[in-house]
Amino acid sequence: MINVEIISIGDELLIGQTINTNASWMGAQLALHGIKVSHVVTISDTREAITTALEEAQKRSQVVLITGGLGPTKDDITKHVLCEYFDTKLEMDEAVLNHVESFFTKRNRPMLEVNKMQAMVPEACEVLFNEQGTAPGMWFEKEDTIFVSMPGVPYEMKYLMGAHVIPRLTERFPVKKLVQKTYLTQGIGESFLAEKISDWEDQLRSEGLDLAYLPSPGMVKLRISSASGDQARVAHYGDALKAMIPLYLYGEAEETLSEVVGRLLQSKGETVGTVESCTGGGIMANLTSVSGSSAYVLGGLITYSNDLKIKLAHVSAETLEDMGAVSEETVLEMAAGGKRELGVDWCISVSGIAGPLGGSDEKPVGTVWIAIDGPDRTLCRKFLFGTDRLRTVQMTVLTALNLLRCEILGINIEKKQS
Amino acid sequence: MINVEIISIGDELLIGQTINTNASWMGAQLALHGIKVSHVVTISDTREAITTALEEAQKRSQVVLITGGLGPTKDDITKHVLCEYFDTKLEMDEAVLNHVESFFTKRNRPMLEVNKMQAMVPEACEVLFNEQGTAPGMWFEKEDTIFVSMPGVPYEMKYLMGAHVIPRLTERFPVKKLVQKTYLTQGIGESFLAEKISDWEDQLRSEGLDLAYLPSPGMVKLRISSASGDQARVAHYGDALKAMIPLYLYGEAEETLSEVVGRLLQSKGETVGTVESCTGGGIMANLTSVSGSSAYVLGGLITYSNDLKIKLAHVSAETLEDMGAVSEETVLEMAAGGKRELGVDWCISVSGIAGPLGGSDEKPVGTVWIAIDGPDRTLCRKFLFGTDRLRTVQMTVLTALNLLRCEILGINIEKKQS
């Protein structure tokens, strides 16, 4: 296993003005080719920082991918520092110069002296031709370590990685591709999930596979990986996982809950609508984020005020008066009223106290009722989502969508889950 | 000037499954307080990688901020490595244990043994209380270097940084504060904006201030900064900017359009509702993301299907037939119908082709009509937002909210802006 390191150069990264998406993209692309990045180091655009980073990288890594600091402006000194580090000097590369000239001619822009300078490359490097811009990539080798310097502009870096760097690296270091699959769960916290699947996880690890928990609000991704590329074992454990937690496991890879729910509805020829209070339209916005959702989404009612709950969703004034807007009775009437009014097969309704104000001892901030009125039966559940307003809304949206998924599939939902 | 280093722990960062937004956020926040991050190092969740990173950081940095690897599951080993590095052992912290217990009690969830383990902290550290989660922050000092370990969950890390870490660091290392103010614009692209304010920008720079353009879909943030801490000059240029582009400049700092609109509505005692098609409830979800929005938000109609446009918003079948759902006539009827049906002072309506399917030569993908029916007059505009579905929805939401802001303020909206 080789050590691959990324050095990202630029103050804009350190002060958070730019997010280092280059490193993420490179890490993901290399992982797909079985090459794992072990270090990402972000540093300032100074001679000392760059030199030290090169020295440290050389000690521990066989491949060092450097981005940034190759633009035409004055604060870009990477190329000079590379010359020092590799004990070489800049020379004019005629092929690159022609390319830079034609680059400006094609765009009808005058070429400045600083642009011409971009064709000056260190003698000791091999030039990686950059079709997408004026700064070439540069490939160096020093004492068994490969150094590749690329511009930080994302589409130029991506071009150089795809056209030159990845093909050369995979040829030089033929590796068994890492196999990994990601499974998506909703409705169960990281530690509960870990407990529920601990035997399965132990067994998986005993066979040399690896498991990672990747939590985000309302969701936990589970990533199974096999460093030895054992596709069959990964799939085997994935299938076992699906069978074990159907209530929570809703999809794989990059799928969204709305895509999964949409596919289910479309295959059954059924439609969905919502009557939303505390989510303010968020469930419907999520459902309609899917291209083609007009095939099964008809519409919704956002009944933020009590008057509109009565007028639009036909909740009775007595129910609101006696039980309150955040109650089992109210969401049930909202779902039933919405189903009739919207003419849908499935109607989701939600009412809750998103906070931070409006809570009481009996109904604390974060209390949310969700009902789903379907073709055959109605489900209604209460949740407690905590005190952060936006988080509560997001949890409610995801939970409602997952409950709808379970109802469509006929998966029995436990009485208590939150 | 002290050296501050961030160590981000997690394979998900190295393989690009998660983008390291934590490091960007921390860098930006620290920069606001005059503290510059000099290194960001991203490493794997292994004993060796963590130990080496700690050693290297100690050599060059006075402050080392560590995120990640503190969750309750088996793949999190950071705490044990920290114990080794600081030559200490884990002990149960009663205050943290009580907090963890109440965390689960409040959410009505049983506490597991792994959760209890989160209250085990290294003896040598000072605990930073984490109100937002179960993993505490940990503050260590070793040979003139401060090490702070925080969970990688963004909102927990942000809480710890804001409540504990930044206040302590600024007290310990008093620095001249960089003064900066951020102004928020909507409805104009970066290069158009730059052209419109170029004289103002030249003058600002000639006085030694700096300007940064920070674009995101539908918005451009403008950040004016003074390295010498000249608050008065920054405010002077900010005021001039506000007077120059009132149509676009909607707020400052971290304000959202929905907060600004909400304040305006509340001060006038007026209410708002929406009739949404292509945004699927996104405008209302944005409006209700503001705490206290029930004071001026009554509700909305999501009329995704044509039938519901007729039934709920009283659009005439003839208009839909003759002019189509994405037309000036339809959104005008949607806004008027919604205003009556919802009983609101202001009604926003939108209808568009979010794509990627459904476009035509006459109405290409990205065509969106927005209408605003107010107490005195009605506005209606067409926009072309391009071919990316989610981007078009987001642009529509922000544009509709900014148009509402301008209408409430009586700012004259140019006939063409897109």
Q: Report the CATH number that the domain containing residue A34 is assigned in CATH.
A: 3.40.980.10
Beta strands in B192-337 (DSSP E): 210-216, 219-226, 249-252, 272-276, 297-303
Dist CA A111 CA B249 (whole Å): 36
Question: Do B291 and A357 count as a contact with CB atoms less than 8 A apart?
Answer: yes
Residues B161, B299 share a domain: no
Q: Is residue A152 part of a domain?
A: yes
Residues B317, B203 share a domain: no
Specify the CATH number for the domain of residue A294: 3.90.950.20
Instruction: Give B-chain residues touching A27 at CB under 8 angstroms.
Output: 13-16
Per-residue pLDDT, averaged over B107-134, amounts to 89
Q: For A74-87, how does the pLDDT look when each residue is reduced to its tens digit (9 = 90+)?
A: 567 899 999 999 99
- Closest alpha carbon within chain B to A42: B40
Identify the pLDDT of residue A72: 67
pLDDT exceeds 60 at position B44? yes
Residues B104, B21 share a domain: yes
Write down which residue in B203, B219, B252 finishes a domain: B252
Residues B297, B192 share a domain: no
Q: For A35-54, how does the pLDDT look when each residue is reduced to its tens digit (9 = 90+)?
A: 989 999 999 989 999 999 99
Dist CA B142 CA A187 (whole Å): 41
Identify the pLDDT of residue A18: 86
Write down which residue in B125, B150, B172 finishes a domain: B172
From the candidates A44, A55, A284, A349, which should be mutated to test the interface with B, based on the most B CB atoms within 10 A? Answer: A284
Range of the domain at B96: 4-172
Tokens representing residue B274 in the block: 């929406």
Residues B9, B147 share a domain: yes
Torsion angle (degrees, nearest 10) of CA B130, B135, B136, B137: -100
* C-alpha B253: how far from chain center: 11
A31 CB within 8 Å of a chain B CB: yes
Instruction: Give B-chain residues touching A17 at CB under 8 angstroms.
Output: 28, 212, 214
In B, residues 282-341, which contact A (CB 8 Å cutoff)? Answer: 282-285, 287-289, 291-294, 297-305, 307-308, 312, 341
Dist CA A78 CA A148 (whole Å): 12
pLDDT exceeds 90 at position A414? no
pTM > 0.90 = no
Dist CA A357 CA B363 (whole Å): 44
CB-nearest partner of A14 from B17, B27, B115: B27
Question: Do B13 and A307 count as a contact with CB atoms less than 8 A apart?
Answer: no
Specify the CATH number for the domain of residue B233: 3.30.70.2860
Tokens representing residue A129 in the block: 């031709």
Percent of chain B with pLDDT over 70: 98
Of B115, B120, B17, B135, whose CA–CA distance to B66 is shortest?
B135
Per-residue pLDDT, averaged over A327-338, amounts to 98
B356 SS3 class: coil
ipTM of this complex prediction, to 2 decimal places: 0.78
Residues A198, A138 share a domain: no
In A, residues 38-97, which contact B (CB 8 Å cutoff)? Answer: 38-44, 49, 56
From the candidates B40, B309, B349, which should be mutated to test the interface with A, based on the most A CB atoms within 10 A? Answer: B40
pLDDT exceeds 60 at position A416? no
CA angle B11/A221/B138 to nearest 5° reads 55
Of A247, A249, A287, whose CA–CA distance to A271 is shortest?
A287
Dist CA B372 CA B339 (whole Å): 10
Tokens representing residue B30 in the block: 């620290």
Tokens representing residue A120 in the block: 């000056």
Instruction: Give A-chain residues touching B284 at CB under 8 angstroms.
Output: 280-281, 302, 304
Residues A305, A220 share a domain: no
Q: For B254-307, how does the pLDDT look when each residue is reduced to its tens digit (9 = 90+)?
A: 899 999 999 999 999 999 999 999 999 999 999 999 999 999 999 999 999 999
Q: Is residue A78 part of a domain?
A: yes
Dist CA A301 CA A281 (whole Å): 8
User: Contact, A161 vs A202, CB < 8 A?
Assistant: no
Q: Is residue A258 part of a domain?
A: no
Residues A72, A167 share a domain: yes
Q: For B314-363, how does the pLDDT look when each residue is reduced to its tens digit (9 = 90+)?
A: 999 999 999 999 999 999 999 999 999 999 999 999 999 998 888 999 99
Q: What is the DSSP string of A56-71?
A: HHHHH-SEEEEES--S
User: Contact, B66 vs B150, CB < 8 A?
Assistant: yes
Rg (CA), chain B: 26
CB-nearest partner of B36 from A14, A27, A343: A14
Question: Do A16 and B29 count as a contact with CB atoms less than 8 A apart?
Answer: yes
For B368: left if phi > 0, alpha if psi spans -120 to 50, otherwise beta; the answer is: beta
Residues A273, A246 share a domain: no
B17 CB within 8 Å of a chain A CB: yes
From the candidates A4, A14, A222, which should be mutated to test the interface with B, based on the most B CB atoms within 10 A? Answer: A14
Question: E strand or H helix at A100, and its extent?
Answer: helix A94-106
Residues B202, B311 share a domain: no
Q: Is residue B416 part of a domain?
A: no
Question: E strand or H helix at A261, and its extent?
Answer: helix A257-268
User: Contact, B341 vs A305, CB < 8 A?
Assistant: no
Q: Is residue A257 part of a domain?
A: no
A154 CB within 8 Å of a chain B CB: no
Q: For B190-217, how does the pLDDT look when each residue is reduced to its tens digit (9 = 90+)?
A: 888 988 999 999 999 999 998 888 777 7
Q: Is residue B414 part of a domain?
A: no
Q: Is residue A208 part of a domain?
A: yes
For B360: left if phi > 0, alpha if psi spans -120 to 50, otherwise beta; the answer is: beta
Residues B160, B185 share a domain: no
Q: How many CB atoms lie within 10 A of CB A21?
A: 15
CA angle B132/B133/B139 to nearest 5° reads 90
- DSSP strand pairing (B4-9 vs B63-67): parallel
Range with lowest mean pLDDT among A362-371, B100-109, B379-388, B407-416:
B407-416
pLDDT exceeds 70 at position B415? no
Count CB pairs under 8 A between chains A and B. Answer: 258
Residues B326, B400 share a domain: yes
Write down which residue in B201, B220, B252 finishes a domain: B252
Work out how many domains chain A is built from and give that number. 3
Per-residue pLDDT, averaged over A284-309, amounts to 97
Q: Is residue A260 part of a domain?
A: no
Q: For A95-148, how does the pLDDT look when each residue is reduced to its tens digit (9 = 90+)?
A: 999 998 988 887 777 787 778 888 999 999 999 999 888 889 999 999 999 999
